[in-house]
């Protein structure tokens, strides 16, 4: 049931959350990686959430952060040990200068990770106190890192591949706007559903506004998703694309916004994916080439590299 405060999908006042106001050129609403083309500024420090940040950052950044914190922690404790009398750390008394600092650094690494090889050990109250604090910090720090790592690897996410272009191709005696998607991972996705909107910039009473029109699909859902799915919007008299040329789409700054939702059997959770095609990524008068075949054993083989291959008509 539609909320009484939200216009229905077919209403010209419908707004999916990107605002209808328009005062300057917009590159695209949805980036190629599925993220929204929105940047937040002016947020206070309370808006920063460390857990959310480290679980959503890239793997290279996460590993760099862990190694950096590990190095900084050992360096900080090494300075504390170095500032003490050499007798506080047994096994490091015979060295001086930078060699002693290196011994303190590696002793810190042994203590932080609770390895304790035994070649070096605290030798006084101050050394034991700092080593005890560092051991506790190491246990807590690695517990947090382990929790973040588990959260990252166990977070369900759909790796949906999209064809590089959307096509306007012959379909059932007329034409249709179509694009192709595929599950790039070996896990099973079921009960897939596609929602497609057309965003255009139009002049309304002398001012420019964004308009959002739902694109009715030939088939908006599939039960199983083992093969590429060609999502098709028939361009008939009821379609917002009816009678429009490629030049019209460019003038309207058209963008086809896509939401794919499905159920992941591996994680037993709903996953989703977003994508969009700008007017310059829509090719008229072409059809997709086959992206799967049957091998000699009678099994279907999906070639992910052929997902977006098309032939001009």
Among 40-44, 72-76, 289-293, the least confident range: 40-44
Q: Tokens 């910039």 label which residue?
A: 201
| CB-CB neighbours of 120 under 10 Å | 20
Structural Rg of the chain based on CA atoms: 29
Q: For 2-58, how does the pLDDT look when each residue is reduced to its tens digit (9 = 90+)?
A: 444 555 555 666 667 666 666 566 677 788 777 777 766 777 767 777 877 888 788
Judging by beta carbons within 10 Å of its beta carbon (0-12, 13-18, 19+), is residue 130 exposed, middle or buried? buried
Burial 179-210 (b: 16+ CB within 10 A, else e): bbbbbeeeeebeebebbbbbbbbeeeeeeebb
Share of the chain above pLDDT 70, in %: 88
Element (H, E) at 29: none
Residue-wise pLDDT tens digits, 88-133: 888 766 677 888 898 899 989 999 988 888 778 888 888 889 999 9
Which of 178, 217, 176, 160 lies closest to 194, judged by CA?
Answer: 217
| pLDDT (mean) for 293-303 | 88
| pLDDT at residue 190 is higher than 90 | yes
């Amino acid at each position: 049931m539609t909320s009484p405060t939200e216009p229905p999908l077919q209403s010209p006042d419908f707004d999916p959350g990107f605002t209808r106001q328009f005062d300057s050129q917009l590159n695209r609403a949805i980036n190629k990686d599925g993220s929204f083309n929105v940047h937040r500024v002016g947020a206070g420090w309370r808006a920063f959430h460390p857990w959310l940040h480290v679980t959503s950052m890239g793997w290279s950044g996460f590993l760099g952060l862990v190694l950096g914190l590990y190095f900084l922690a050992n360096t900080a404790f090494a300075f504390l040990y170095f500032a003490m009398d050499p007798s506080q750390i047994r096994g490091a008394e015979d060295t001086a200068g930078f060699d002693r600092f290196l011994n303190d650094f590696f002793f810190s690494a042994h203590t932080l990770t609770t390895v304790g090889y035994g070649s070096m050990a605290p030798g006084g109250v101050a050394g034991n106190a700092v080593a005890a604090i560092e051991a506790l910090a190491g246990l807590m720090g690695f517990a947090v890192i382990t929790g973040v790592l588990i959260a990252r690897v166990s977070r369900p996410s759909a790796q949906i591949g999209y064809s590089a272009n959307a096509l306007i191709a012959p379909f059932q005696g007329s034409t249709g706007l179509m694009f192709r998607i595929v599950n790039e991972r070996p896990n099973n996705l079921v009960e897939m559903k596609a929602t497609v909107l057309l965003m255009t910039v139009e002049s309304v009473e002398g001012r420019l506004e964004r308009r959002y029109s739902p694109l009715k699909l030939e088939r908006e859902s599939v039960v199983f998703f083992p093969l590429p799915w060609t999502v098709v919007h028939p361009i008939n008299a009821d379609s917002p694309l009816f009678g429009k040329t490629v030049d019209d789409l460019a003038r309207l700054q058209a963008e086809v916004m896509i939401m794919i939702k499905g159920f992941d059997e591996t994680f037993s959770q709903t996953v989703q994916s977003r994508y969009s095609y700008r007017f310059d990524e829509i090719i008229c008068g072409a059809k997709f080439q086959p992206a799967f075949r049957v091998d000699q054993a009678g099994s279907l083989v999906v070639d992910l590299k052929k997902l977006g291959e098309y032939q001009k008509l």
